[in-house]
Amino acid sequence: MRKKETEFNLGEHLRKLRQNHGLSQRELARRAGITNGAVSLIEQNESSPSVASLRKLLNVFQMTLAEFFSLEPPPEDQIFFKIRDLPEIAGALHAKNGQILMRQIGGSHSQKLQMLFERYAAGADTGEAMLQHEGEEAGIILRGRIEAIVGKRRQVLTRGCAYLYDSRLPHRFRNIGKDEAVIVSACTPPYL
């Protein structure tokens, strides 16, 4: 099956980014703290990185996930957005047991707040490596069953449930339902 023209090619994009910075796969892997084989498989689109692994790679370039996935950032003064205006920042990531799609509202580097529309396929998981970063996160579950782990706390959240926490605490999200889960979340300062 041929890829759509508009589909984001994560492997090719990472390879070009690495080459533009004059790094070998081995050097990128060393700086990111992952294996050379993992970088090779990602660049060949034979393996999809976890969010945590891709962040490690992009940290080498001092680049956010939003910058990596945004092909064309919206104008600085844009206020209203249609779904096609929301850059897909994690659509090419296949989390453990399923896909996670994240669309960002806006995309300006000057934003102090990051808003995301998140879709988790049945079984999707942000990964065993817990996420941690500066700031605060909040979200509301629109559909599905999400198991949220924040620090030592674990809770199953369903439609209408919400969360708010200091994102320096280790955290992880997992769709434990049989259907897709949908979340609208916010993070300040922007994380992805």
Where are the CATH 2.60.120.10 domain residues in the chain?
83-188
| Strands of 181-188's sheet in order across | 94-95, 98-105, 114-120, 181-188, 136-143, 162-166
pLDDT band at 104 (very low <50, low <70, confident <90, very high): confident
Cα(119)–Cα(183) distance, integer angstroms:
7
> Does residue 19 sit in helix, strand or coil?
helix
The whole-number average pLDDT for the span 155-168 is 96
Residue 11 has phi, psi (to 5 degrees) of -60, -50
Containing H/E element for 142?
strand 136-143
Contact indicator for 118, 102 with CB cutoff of 8 Å: yes
Cα(66)–Cα(104) distance, integer angstroms:
8
Q: Does domain 83-188 have CATH number 3.30.499.10?
A: no
Contact indicator for 123, 112 with CB cutoff of 8 Å: no
Residues 14-70: tens digit of each pLDDT: 888 887 777 889 989 999 999 999 999 999 988 888 888 888 898 888 787 877 876
Answering whether pTM is above 0.85, one says: no
Where are the CATH 1.10.260.40 domain residues in the chain?
10-63
Residue 102 has phi, psi (to 5 degrees) of -125, 130
Q: Does domain 10-63 have CATH number 1.10.260.40?
A: yes
pLDDT at 129 over 80: yes
**Best CA proximity match to 176, nearest among 118, 105, 136, 126:** 126
